[in-house]
Amino acid sequence: MTIWELRCASVNDYAMAVPLNPGDVSAGLFRIDGKPLEWKRPPRIGFADSTRKNHERPPADVSAMVPGAMVLNAHAHAVLAPFLSAFGQLLELDSEGAPGPRFFYNVTHLVRCVDVEHSEKNELGRIRREVFDLSKVPAEAAVFKDPATARSRIYVNDAGKAVIDQLIASTGLSGIECGMLEPTL
């Protein structure tokens, strides 16, 4: 079995979702540690394009915001929510500068499958390259996080990748992929 990373694709081709109220970040509204989030009101987001070109990059169907989370537009929500909602929350955002509603995907399905002791770590002791205990990974299609890497990664198993890849291919969603795990910094 292979463990894949569910992530935003082609991040250099699309605008990134950004919180518009700095207080929302410091208040922990975008906490991505695998625990459920509760918002009294939807946080406001916008889209930033850091290129210096004459044309702005558009938002993707699935936009990057913070590592370990993603923002879906209404089309991506309609396509992916029936599958993704089984493994986390899709919380509505107040979106500025892009048409339609946006949703923050917070994965709450935790699976303790990273072998912390045998994983490669950086000089700060953070996991750089995971080693998995595959006996702990669900066999059925699943999207999940491990507590050791919850703030930076969303994982998907082979069966989950097959579901997501089929949904992407059949609907032409932009900005999302199930990719090979690459070492973190």
Q: DSSP label at 95?
A: E
**Rounded Cα distance, 56 and 139, in Å:** 42
Query: Which of 111, 108, 94, 107 is CA-nearest to residue 148?
Result: 111
pTM of the model: 0.91
Q: Residue 82 phi/psi, 5° resolution?
A: -55, -30
pLDDT digits (tens, 9 = 90+) for 147-181: 999 999 999 999 999 999 999 999 999 999 999 99
User: What pLDDT, on a 0 to 100 scale, did the predictor assign at position 100?
Assistant: 82
User: What pLDDT, on a 0 to 100 scale, did the predictor assign at position 169?
Assistant: 97
Contact 97, 16 (CB under 8 A): no
User: What pLDDT, on a 0 to 100 scale, did the predictor assign at position 90?
Assistant: 97
Burial label for 104, CB within 10 Å (0-12, 13-18, 19+), is buried
User: What pLDDT, on a 0 to 100 scale, did the predictor assign at position 136?
Assistant: 97
Contact 134, 170 (CB under 8 A): no
Spans of the chain below 50 pLDDT: none
State the DSSP H helix or E strand holding residue 165, giving kind and residue range, or none if neither.
helix 158-171
User: What pLDDT, on a 0 to 100 scale, did the predictor assign at position 177?
Assistant: 96
End-to-end CA distance of the chain: 25
User: What pLDDT, on a 0 to 100 scale, did the predictor assign at position 55?
Assistant: 59
User: What pLDDT, on a 0 to 100 scale, did the predictor assign at position 164?
Assistant: 98
Calculate the CA dihedral of residues 74, 80, 84, 89 and round it to 10 degrees.
0
**Rounded Cα distance, 5 and 140, in Å:** 16
**Rounded Cα distance, 80 and 71, in Å:** 12
